[in-house]
Structure 1
Amino acid sequence: MTDRIYIRPIALVPGPQTEHGNAIRLAGGMVYASRFAVILRREGQIAERWLAAPDTMAEVLGQLPDAVGAEAEAQWSNLTLAHPPIELGARTVRLDQPQVMGILNVTPDSFSDGGAHDSPDAAREHAAAMVEAGASIIDVGGESTRPGAKPMWEGDEIARVVPAIEACAGMGAAVSIDTRKAAVMEAALEAGAHLVNDVSGLTHDPRSAEVVARAACPVVLMHAPGSGEDLHEGGAYDNVVFNVFDELRARRDAALAAGVEAQGILLDPGIGFGKSLADNLALINALPMFHALGHPLLLGASRKRMIGALSNEVAASDRLGGSVALAVKGMDAGVQLHRVHDVPETLQARNVWRGLRDAALTDFSDLPD
């Protein structure tokens, strides 16, 4: 008999005063949670579900089977865990508010902007524009991971990404390398990258965890169901939210066992990778639960096909509205990093969102103590 426990925030509020203090600050950010579902799964099925608030959580956790008690306590602690900033070269990226990671694809075949930035001059110009707009990190990728894309030899990928990374690092940007190959990670880090963003969660290349651990650099572990060249294969779930949660926890644990530093791990549920429209919508609605894993979250939903599926199949280049809507939904869930194509527009939405959050903290200032 296999029992698993999950604590899912189900009521988010503008500030603790709206609940007379009976709310937690979710993951140390600008979002507060006041009600939670504590869900016990047994053999893959929901066995019991309790509702709790911060002042009743101890009572609910005390009713749980011994086999899941320690995990439940850890998840409850993680939901309130404030994450320290990540140091990326000379840049410090705070995680107590949403930050924007700008996408720099130096590929001819990416699903949304293939070929637009694959020359050195075009890449440098686009990166500079994103940095000037306020992107906290530039994420450089040299291999398309869209469905059906052909895998690339690591030497070709290195030749694509290194000049772009050097250019970004030269302008003082914090740089991420979007790759699943250890040799590319090594070359990128040598060229000035500060963070590894691996869409395979360090599973594609057997050396990748060693490279990250040795470099002691932050790493994003993304969920994708495919274990081979096609990361979109094998996307069959009995419950996509619980399955992705469990698999991200397993990949996190494997990274820790390989020597990767816990404070350097970020998690990404992998929107669009081997997931149906219904799967993607379920994951986005459940984003607050993933804070229970105890690591900062990254959301990469920009221009994804799910937006087209909900919008008369508009082209990827016409998905700005949907991309911003999903980013704001992620902000409402307390997601710390947002990987986007449209940096100025997303940052404008973030700034308005933050203004509303700041104002909400004083909305009830005249209430009696």
Structure 2
Amino acid sequence: MSLPRLVTYAGSVDQVQQALAHGADHLIVEDPRLGIRSWLGEPRRDHDFSDLQGLMAAARFQRPELRLSLNCDALYGDGDEALLTAALRAARDGGCDAVRFQDPGLMQLLRQVAPELQAELATEMAGACIASVAVYAAEGFAYQCLSNDWPQADLQQLRAALPQLQCEILVHGPVLIQYSARRQLSAHGQWNGSLGGDSAALPATPWHTVVVDGRPYPFADNYHGNLMYNTFDRSLYPHLDLLQDLQLSGWLIDGRGQSPEYLQRALSAFAAARQGGQGSANPDTWAALQASAPRRFKPGFFLANNTDRCFEDCAEDNESLHVFGEVIDVIRDGPVTIQMYADLPQDPQQRQGLYLATPEGRRCAVEWPALRNLSGNAISAASAGDILQMPWSKGCIPGSKVLSDSQF
């Protein structure tokens, strides 16, 4: 069994040296004109990629066997063909092995300009469907960085269905949840925070904190459009046994915009784990990873995508139960938001007969006297179609149902 490559991004010679010194063996080189998160200098519109070729040469000189890719993850229009053509030629002449696209339609341009280069597809916010992965593979994308929506069990099914496909997933780093080529100009130029990097690593374009229902989301507006990260970073370090079982081609570690320690510690940790085999997670290493991060770590959907679980899948087991509503949002230590499908009983004794059941079948307590509407005002009644909120209780997750064992 071959070991997965450690994959990361680099946009400067210093970043190349840092990545290679800490175990990376697949570098994705970046340029601000091509990557939506390349925090390097001022915007440029010219087609001179000599600096990028110098970066490729520096990487290849230090590690001749290195896999080298060019990142082109922005959304492009027909007017960008000249820029992309120049970039693809630079990648070809600079010794790249592959070009990484978010837009699969760019395969046609790659075949015209630099057919000797491999195509890597990295649709970060695409679905988690074996059929769509197979379609892209048939179109020539033999190497795919899969979205963060894939649970580990589904990844196992994908590996069994498409054993020849080279697969990569994000194992450590921020999670992109929104990207649009449209700009949010009202926020432009009002940067009020960083993503954890020092002043020398500040983004070339402003980042903001957008708070939604008490959750802070990093949000950026730049000349590529606007993008948003999740409130947490993803790390699969505590779940190395499940990760190693997948026998992936690449483990992606994304340290763009973060402190040098963030990337260095992550690369070193996963490099050691890759060599150590099953059960090689180290508690001290995990503590160091957490200490270097500006946000908390979660595995995300890797363990279980509960939004794909459906109460109705167990309809036969639950046919005697009556559904009064569904949890549509949960904020830890904050409100639980419920959409009602039926009128909430007025009788207190009947109301106490209601409970929450998670998609896995766990039951959660309900504090029915403490109900509020979306404006935060206390309410005593709710009808079918209403949206209400109640206090958070441990174990409650989106998709949980408000149930009763009997019809009132």
TM-score range, shorter chain: 0.3 to 0.5
- TM-score using structure 2 length: 0.40
Work out which structure has the larger RCO, using CA pairs closer than 8 Å and 6 or more positions apart in sequence.
Answer: 1
- Higher helix residue share: 1
- Higher strand residue share: 2
- TM-score using structure 1 length: 0.43
